[in-house]
Amino acid sequence: MKGVDKLRAVKEKNNSSWDELCQYVKKEILKYDDNMKFPKNLALKLQGLKKGQFVANNNHEVNACYDDYTLLCTFKLCKNKITNYLHDNDKKIQDENHKINLIIKMIEPEINDVYLRLQRAEKTMAKVENETFENQSNENAEYVKKTKEVNDNMKKLF
């Protein structure tokens, strides 16, 4: 029973990270509100990006294995570039599929760089966590008062 609970917890974590990615792209990149449907084409493209494919397809070879967090970080890193481009070229963009293809085209070259950054950060964190700081001590200096008590004559002035 414990194995099933662990599997369920992992699946819920994966679903929440996928949902976070989809919500970020929907609201921050596409500027859709809650009344608008998340495009199925975009979901397939995001699943494809995770596998290093153009579109998610189980019949094709998997070229990469990125997690949702890596894609989310990539979108956050490229948000300004994407939104500026979409705003400046609004008249040229034909429809929703065209917009999605442009977004994926801007994100795809950045994924490997973000993945490597995240790997370096993870290694650094692991290195810091494994370090011990027992040999370092913090001996504070004792405070020594240099002024004298206020004279009785001075107390009357205040």
* pLDDT 10s digits, 41-67: 999 999 999 998 888 888 888 888 999
Give the model's confidence band at 142: pLDDT under 50 very low, under 70 low, under 90 confident, else very high.
Answer: confident
Extents of the domains making up the chain: 2-129
Q: Which of 54, 50, 60 is nearest to 14 (CA)?
A: 50
Residue 97 has pLDDT above 90, yes or no: yes
User: How much is the mean pLDDT over the chain?
Assistant: 86
Asked which of 64-68, 85-89, 141-145 is least confident by mean pLDDT, the reply is 141-145
SS (H, E, C) the chain: CHHHHHHHHHHHHHHHHHHHHHHHHHHHHCCCCCCCCCCHHHHHHHHHHHHCCCCCCCCCCCCCCCCHHHHHHHHHHHHHHHHHHHHHCCCCCCCHHHHHHHHHHHHHHHHHHHHHHHHHHHHHHHHHHHCCCCCCCCCCCCCCCCCCCCCHHHHHHC
